[in-house]
Amino acid sequence: MCQMDEDVSDVLIKTCDTDILILMFGNMDHLRNNNLKIYMEYDSNNLKKWINISELYEKWGPSICQSLPGFHALTGCDFNPSFLRRGKKRPFKILQKSYQYQKAFAALGSAEIVEKEEEICVPNVRFKMSKIE
């Protein structure tokens, strides 16, 4: 989708997995076609829902959307159901209010080649990175 030409205006993603939605939000800033409208048809238990991804991206903005994959990984993706039956509304509201948290969660999804050993500081967390040889 990131490489689609200007002549494509609408895209419909059909899925039964909300992880696709989160990954799409996290990559909306990579789209070359600014006029592209992206929709998702979500089918769960024979109940179809339509989500206008482009509209939500405009509403939430790039900072929140880029932080969603990292946020989702820690709050309950398919492989880490840490908030199972607890909900994500309150943690999401906290994320919306804190640019510092948005930046930290967005950093979880970014990859950089490390030239030498260095420390990376994320608020209240320290990582030590070493060059892979």
Same domain membership, residue 27 and residue 9: yes
Q: Are 80 and 74 in contact (CB under 8 A)?
A: yes
Same domain, 48 and 66: no
pTM of the model: 0.70
Cα(93)–Cα(85) distance, integer angstroms: 17
Distances 98 to 25, 29, 91, 92, 132 between C-alpha atoms, Å? 18, 20, 11, 10, 33
Of all residues in the chain, the percent with pLDDT exceeding 70 is 68
Same domain? 28 vs 83: no
Whether the CB-CB separation of 36 and 8 falls below 8 Å is answered with yes
Query: Looking at the structure, do residues 85 and 107 belong to the same domain, yes or no?
Result: yes
- Which pLDDT score is estimated for 10? 87
Residue 45 sits in the same domain as residue 99: no
Shared domain for 68 and 132, answered yes or no, is yes
Q: What is the pLDDT of residues 49-97, one digit of tens each?
A: 899 999 999 999 999 999 999 898 888 765 655 666 666 788 889 999 9
Q: Which domain holds residue 43?
A: 1-60
- Report whether 117 contacts 132 (CB < 8 A): no
Partners of 48 in beta bridges: 43
Name the DSSP letter for residue 57: H
Domain termination residue (choose one: 12, 42, 60): 60
Q: Which residues pair with 115 in a beta bridge?
A: none
Quick one: DSSP state of residue 30? Answer: G
pLDDT at residue 52, rounded to an integer: 95
Rounded to the nearest integer, the mean pLDDT of the chain is 78
Domain count, the chain: 2
Which two structure tokens, joined as six digits, stand for 76? 């309950």
Residue 72: name the closest of 96, 52, 91, 50 by CA.
Answer: 91
Same domain, 82 and 48: no
Is 100 found in the same domain as 54? Answer: no
In this structure, are 44 and 75 located in the same domain? no
